[in-house]
Structure 1
Amino acid sequence: MAISKSAKIWAEMEKVKAKISEQQSRLKELEQKHREAENEEIVDIVRGMSVTLDELPALLRQFRGGPSGHGVQKPGEGKEET
Structure 2
Amino acid sequence: MSLKLEKIAAEREKARRKRDEWEERRKEWDRKYHEQENSEICEMVHAQSLTPEQLAVIIQMAQAAVPNPENLKLDEKETEDME
Structure showing the higher helix proportion among its residues: 2
- Residue 53 of structure 1 and its aligned partner are, at CA, apart by 2.5
Instruction: Name the counterpart of 1:7.
Output: 6
The whole-number CA distance in structure 2 between the counterparts of 1:14 and 1:25 is 17
How much identity, in percent, do the aligned residues show? 35
Q: Work out whether 1:39 is the aligned partner of 2:33.
A: no
Unpaired runs of at least 5, structure 1: 66-70, 74-82
Bigger RCO of structures 1 and 2 (CA < 8 A, at least 6 apart): 2
TM-score calculated relative to the size of structure 2: 0.71
Mapping for residues 14-25 of structure 1, pairs under 5 Å: 14-25=13-24
CA RMSD of aligned residues (A): 1.6
Deviations 1:39-81 (A, max 9, x none): 001111111112222322112111222xxxxx237xxxxxxxx
Tell me the amino acid that sits aligned with residue 50 of structure 2.
V
TM-score calculated relative to the size of structure 1: 0.71
Unpaired runs of at least 5, structure 2: 68-83
